[in-house]
Amino acid sequence: MEEALKQIIDKLNSMDNKINSMDNKISSMDNKIGSMDKKINWHLESIEFKLDSVHDQTAELTEFRTETKENIEIVSKDVKFIKHKLHKTEEDVFDIKDYLKIVK
């Protein structure tokens, strides 16, 4: 009986040692997970900051594109008007030259 009790105590001690070992491993894993969590959060914040920057730059580029398109339309209209006025002026110059030929 005493031998059986000694074996039971040895088994309990062995199980206790294994549980302590497992507890240490779990604590180590918990520390590693905590460290990884901090790194992941830092990376996520960095990505969010970069994404915000890209979003802001995209908004600025969109605004610039819209302004440029509007300015090109204005310039195009101005060029069309100048071409019209040039044609009209050339007609007037032609009429004046023709009139001057008659007067001579």
Give the model's pLDDT for residue 104.
Answer: 64
Distance between CA atoms of residues 16 and 8, nearest Å: 12
**What digits encode the pLDDT tens for the residues 26-51?**
999 999 999 999 999 999 999 999 99
Q: What pTM, to 2 d.p., does this model score?
A: 0.52
**What digits encode the pLDDT tens for the residues 55-97?**
999 999 999 999 999 999 999 999 999 999 999 999 999 999 9
